[in-house]
Structure 1
Amino acid sequence: MEILLSLLVGVLMSVSVWMLLSRNLVKFLFGLVLISNVANLIIFKVGGLTVGAPALITDGGSAEYANSLPQALVLTAIVIGFGLVSFTLVLAHKAYQAIGTLNVDEMTLAEKRQDPADSEKSS
């Protein structure tokens, strides 16, 4: 099962990097969501899984208990990932309203080019 999860993480990571390198801003956003989910899977994979162990130490003093650190890290990563995706979504929406396209190449062409002579005059 661990090999299957490792292969899944590898495939999802490669797909998310491919989407991040895309010229479309929507594909970039989906790649960002996917890479944050892959990071959560990696944290769970590295943290390990204790089957049948309690989440907290009981009064009986059980020798084996589940590690709560990976769970806390994943919850933190979910919150940070949601904030990052929300910010990127608003930024993409504003860019689409201002420029009228989601293609990154066309966005760079739509930027105002500054002439070096103009920058010397202003300084």
Structure 2
Amino acid sequence: MASLFGCQLAAATWMSWAAVNGRRRGWWIGAGVLLSLVALFFALATWGTSDITKLNHFFAIYPGGGTKGEPFWVLVGPLIVASPYRMAAVHGLVAAGYAAAPILLAWRWRALAWGAGGVF
């Protein structure tokens, strides 16, 4: 986990360097790597917790059943069962989505470094 965290810092540093030096492709590659590392970090961090284990077991038995009247789980049940870490993978994807929001906002607002400044 410490190595993954260090790699996240390296990817963020790479994004900052690429933005300052006008390397558009390097910035997008750094953003993709950072978001992938965030997804992996949070998937591994939540793997094996009791709530996640219960949901994994429930979806393995009855994948389309949902949990007590929540229709969202009926839709994502088959996806969770097909994922390598099941529910933990969903947690990782949600965390990566939250991580993407400030990166994309900074890019849209042309904030220097994280959003690539006015270069892109």
Greater RCO (CA < 8 Å, at least 6 residues apart): 2
Larger radius of gyration: 1
TM-score, normalised with respect to structure 2: 0.42
